[in-house]
């Protein structure tokens, strides 16, 4: 029986996410065996520094990609938001699974359960490891103080509950739901309060770009709607040249053949921002069996079983919105944010 080796980070959430993808693949391919290989990444090891300060694009992916390159694993399951918009040569995202709730959630210290960010006492400290969240929320909730908190979900929740430093922390709703911690979600932040990170809530399966066999194997996992939304989001971020060292956020919706993309950039303290929305007509395709295309990758993603037209339209929407924001001065905001972040 052929064994497919699947790479993952060691954290409990990463394992849960990988197990869910493997369970789907096992159901689709009962004749194959799957072996999960867990490893630590740079981002898992450096826990005393804010992510944006480490200045490394592939914090949570490099070691896993190294294993892919050396043929020690055949595919790797990631949170899509950890995957840079430009992948190293030789790799591609061969599947984007159906997205869970992409919004951010607030988890409160036990003594503040029942509160919202708005009703927390003046000068309450809120923990987040994300410049994107801090910039947006500082602007909206100026009575609060935002401080970096690092570690995996278990560690962050423990810091919140056992120390008196934080009144609340901000986490991705999808991660909390996958861990089965629905009861800890005290508030879900709507796009008007806090737009989400590019690709948030979706899982990406990274493979060797030339491994046609594995590409075919995982390609069936593509969720067409999630794929198109994430292509638009990733194209927007790539064209802005944003990463985790600058506050960039998005919101997408696909309804009645229209893909809506809202994107924004913020200064680090949230005082300065540029946001806008654009839409494009896109018909969500059924998967189809088409001949292979030349250079099939778009923003690091290969989806040969989804028609090319809608993918290109989604990518163009992302680029157009980035150009609109750049024409309104986004580059200056991002450059200053980058310089300030590097200086601190």
Q: What gap in Å lies between CA 240 and CA 271, rounded to an integer?
A: 19
CA angle, corner 79, sides to 22 and 220, nearest 5?
Answer: 45
Q: Residue 125: which of 98, 157, 147 has the closest Cα?
A: 147
The pLDDT score that the predictor gives to residue 53 is: 47
pLDDT digits 0-9 by tens, 136-176: 999 999 999 999 997 888 889 999 999 999 999 999 999 99
Q: What gap in Å lies between CA 8 and CA 36, rounded to an integer?
A: 7
Identify the three-state secondary structure at position 172.
Answer: strand
User: Are 188 and 119 within 8 A, CB to CB?
Assistant: no
pLDDT digits 0-9 by tens, 43-55: 555 445 554 444 4
Is 19 a known active-site residue? no
The single-letter DSSP state of residue 196 is B
Q: Is the pLDDT higher at 294 or at 116?
A: 116
Architecture per CATH, domain 102-186, reads as 3-Layer(aba) Sandwich (3.40)
Give the chain's mean pLDDT.
90
Q: Residue 134: which of 340, 328, 309 has the closest Cα?
A: 340
The single-letter DSSP state of residue 221 is T
DSSP string for 39-72: E--HHHH--SS-HHHH--TTTTTHHHHHHHHTTS
Mean pLDDT for the stretch of residues 233-257: 90
Q: What residue spans define the domains of the chain?
A: 2-99+196-341, 102-186
The pLDDT score that the predictor gives to residue 1 is: 79
The pLDDT score that the predictor gives to residue 66 is: 86
- CA R_g for the chain: 20
The pLDDT score that the predictor gives to residue 47 is: 46
Q: What gap in Å lies between CA 312 and CA 227, rounded to an integer?
A: 12
Number of other CB atoms surrounding residue 144 within 10 Å = 19
Query: Is the model's pLDDT at 242 over the cut of 50?
Result: yes
% residues pLDDT > 90 (the chain): 77
Q: What gap in Å lies between CA 242 and CA 82, rounded to an integer?
A: 13
Query: Is the model's pLDDT at 117 over the cut of 50?
Result: yes
Identify the three-state secondary structure at position 161.
Answer: helix
CA angle, corner 188, sides to 182 and 190, nearest 5?
Answer: 150
Query: Is the model's pLDDT at 272 over the cut of 60?
Result: yes
Strand partners, 146: 126
DSSP string for 236-287: HHHHHT--TTS-EEEEEEEETTEEEEEEEEE-TTSSSEEEEEEEEE-PPPPP
Hunting for tokens 């194997």 — which residue is that? 217
Mean pLDDT for the stretch of residues 269-286: 90
Which numeric CATH code is attached to 2-99+196-341? 3.30.160.40
User: Are 196 and 102 within 8 A, CB to CB?
Assistant: yes
Residues 6+ apart with CB under 8 A from 267: 135, 247, 273, 333, 336, 337
pLDDT digits 0-9 by tens, 6-43: 999 888 899 999 999 999 999 999 999 999 999 876 55
Identify the three-state secondary structure at position 165.
Answer: coil
| 30-44, 181-195, 203-217, 248-262: range with lowest mean pLDDT | 30-44
Strand partners, 127: 147, 169
Q: pTM higher than 0.85, yes or no?
A: yes
Among 82, 104, 211, 223, the one annotated catalytic: 82
pLDDT digits 0-9 by tens, 296-317: 789 999 999 899 999 999 999 9
The pLDDT confidence band at residue 294, using thresholds 50, 70 and 90, is low
């Amino acid at each position: 029986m052929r064994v497919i080796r699947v790479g993952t980070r060691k954290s409990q959430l990463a394992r849960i996410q990988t197990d869910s993808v493997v369970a789907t693949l096992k159901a689709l391919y009962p004749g194959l065996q799957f072996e999960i290989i867990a490893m630590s990444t740079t981002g898992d090891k450096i826990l005393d520094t804010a992510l944006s300060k480490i200045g490394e694009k592939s914090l949570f992916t490099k070691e896993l990609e190294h294993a892919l390159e050396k043929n020690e694993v055949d595919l790797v399951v990631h949170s899509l938001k950890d995957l840079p918009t430009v992948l190293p040569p030789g790799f591609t995202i061969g599947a984007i699974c159906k997205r869970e709730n992409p919004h951010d959630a607030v988890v409160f210290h036990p003594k503040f359960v029942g509160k919202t960010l708005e009703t927390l006492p003046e000068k309450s400290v809120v923990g987040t490891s994300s410049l994107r969240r801090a910039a947006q929320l500082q602007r909206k909730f100026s009575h609060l103080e935002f401080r970096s908190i690092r570690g995996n979900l278990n560690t962050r929740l423990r810091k919140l509950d056992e120390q008196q430093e934080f009144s609340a922390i901000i986490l991705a709703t999808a991660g909390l739901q996958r861990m089965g911690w629905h009861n800890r979600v005290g508030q879900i932040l709507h796009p008007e309060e806090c737009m989400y990170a590019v690709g948030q809530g979706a899982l990406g399966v990274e493979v060797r770009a030339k491994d046609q066999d594995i590409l075919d194997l995982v390609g069936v996992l593509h969720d067409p709607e999630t794929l198109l939304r994430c292509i638009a989001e990733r194209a927007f971020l790539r064209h802005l040249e944003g990463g985790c060292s600058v506050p960039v956020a998005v919101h997408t919706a696909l309804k009645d053949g229209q893909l809506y993309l809202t994107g924004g950039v913020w200064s680090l303290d949230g005082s300065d921002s540029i946001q806008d929305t654009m839409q494009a007509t896109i018909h969500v395709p059924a998967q189809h069996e088409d001949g292979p295309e030349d250079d099939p990758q778009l923003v690091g993603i290969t989806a040969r079983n989804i028609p090319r037209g809608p993918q290109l339209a989604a990518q163009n929407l992302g680029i157009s919105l980035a150009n609109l924001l750049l024409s309104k001065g986004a580059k200056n905001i991002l450059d200053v944010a980058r310089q300030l972040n590097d200086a601190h």
